[in-house]
Structure 1
Amino acid sequence: MVKEIEKAGFPIVQMANLIPVAKTVGANRMVPTISIPYPLGDPETPKEQQYKLRHHRVGVALEALETEVQEQTVFKVKI
Structure 2
Amino acid sequence: MGKEIERSGIPVVVMCNLIDVAKTVGSNRMVQTVSVPYPLGDPEMSPEDEWALRKHRVAIALDSLTDEIQEPKVYPTKL
TM-score range, shorter chain: over 0.9
Gaps of 5+ in 1: none
Local SS of the residue matching 1:68: coil
Local SS of the residue matching 1:61: helix
Cα deviation per residue 1:2-49 (whole Å; 9 max; x = unaligned)?
Answer: 111111110000001000000000000000000011000111211011
Equivalent residue number for residue 25 of structure 1: 25
| Alignment root-mean-square deviation, CA | 0.8
Gaps of 5+ in 2: none
Distance 2:3 2:24 in 1: 11
Runs of 4+ with deviation above 3 angstroms:
none
> Percent of aligned pairs with the same residue?
58
Match of 1:18, as an amino acid? L
Equivalent residue number for residue 59 of structure 1: 59
